[in-house]
Amino acid sequence: MLSKEVLKTVSRIELSVKGSLDAVMTGAYHSSYKGNGMEFSEVREYVPGDDIRSIDWNVTARAGTPYVKKFVEERELTMLLMVDASSSAEFGSGKEMKAEVMATLTALLAFAAIKNNDKVGLLIFTDQIELFIRPAKGRKHVLRLIRETLYFKPQNKGTNIQNALEYAGKLLNRRAVVVVISDFLDTGYETAFKVLRKRHDVLAVSVVDPRELELPSVGLVEIEDPETGETLLIDTGDAVFRELFAKEAKKQTREMTLLFDKMSVDFVRILIQSEFKNTVAPLLEHFRRRAKLR
């Protein structure tokens, strides 16, 4: 059951993603990904020209005349949303923390999935697997996913993307769409991504706060690594330091983009902005571009 407070928050998020949801669907989300292949539909009598490999020999034996299997394309998808709940997501220089933006993106994709009659599941991770909810359909199920993404309290602080990807690979028996929503402040996950994408459609969504790219000039500031607790005193009034910080941030951005390109994994970088429609614009463009390639 959802409390009034939680329901109010979830309703606000649902309202905030409504316009973007329409854009996702008109951007051909449903044609961006393939279903699970061909599904058996029925048998019918053999007619000259049918592929003899499709003959159903059991039915043929019972009926005394040849029958063939008929297949149709299966469009139903399974989507698994993997959400990073490490302590680095509890950072935000504006009105929303990265974790809140990740929750809103989760809501957007989950609503898109059920609108397309797909199953959607949730895996919340830190440096451990914190929560897994099996893929299912329906609005009530999606509301639960949003609630958990918003209010779940992880037991750990660190990040281990490799562990989460390997766990997801063991869970998914059939081809699925796997969306990893994280700030990707981790290393050593390349092999796990490559293995997962061999069987599944994989999309990495990186959420970035503007202050992770540029620092304002506000004098001495003590910063803390939320995952390790390590603190550092920096002088943001130093123009040289701010310039070096910005250069290093740009370098890391380029390297991450190149890394996902090298792994052949779809990658979308989300920069948090004051308006959600602007924040989510790169994701919407990704679906439009992908649909055109199908």
Residue 293, pLDDT > 80, answer: no
Percent of the chain with pLDDT strictly greater than 90: 53
pTM (whole model) above 0.85: no
* Per-residue confidence band for 2, with pLDDT thresholds at 50, 70 and 90: low
- Tens of pLDDT, residue by residue over 182-194, are 999 999 999 999 9
Q: What is the pLDDT of residue 3?
A: 61
Q: What angle do CA 34, 31, 200 make, to 5 degrees?
A: 30
* DSSP E strands, the chain: 37-45, 67-74, 78-84, 119-125, 129-136, 177-182, 201-208, 220-224, 231-235, 266-271
Residue 257, pLDDT > 70, answer: yes
Q: What is the pLDDT of residue 103?
A: 92
Select the CATH number that applies to the domain covering 4-33+76-293 from these four: 3.40.50.300, 3.40.50.410, 3.20.20.80, 2.40.10.10: 3.40.50.410
Tell me how far CA of residue 189 lies from CA of 166, 177, 251, 270, in angstroms: 10, 18, 19, 20
- Tens of pLDDT, residue by residue over 59-79, are 889 888 898 887 544 557 899
- Tens of pLDDT, residue by residue over 24-70, are 765 556 666 655 554 555 788 888 878 888 888 888 898 888 988 87
Can you tell me which residue has the tokens 């402040």? 185
Beta bridge partners of 45: 67
Give the domain ranges of the chain.
Answer: 4-33+76-293, 37-74
User: Which residue from 293, 271, 283, 270 is spatially nearest to 109, judged by alpha carbons?
Assistant: 283
* Per-residue confidence band for 198, with pLDDT thresholds at 50, 70 and 90: very high
Residue 20, pLDDT > 80, answer: no
- Tens of pLDDT, residue by residue over 215-243, are 999 999 888 888 888 888 999 999 999 99
**Can you read off the two tokens belonging to residue 246?**
């910005």
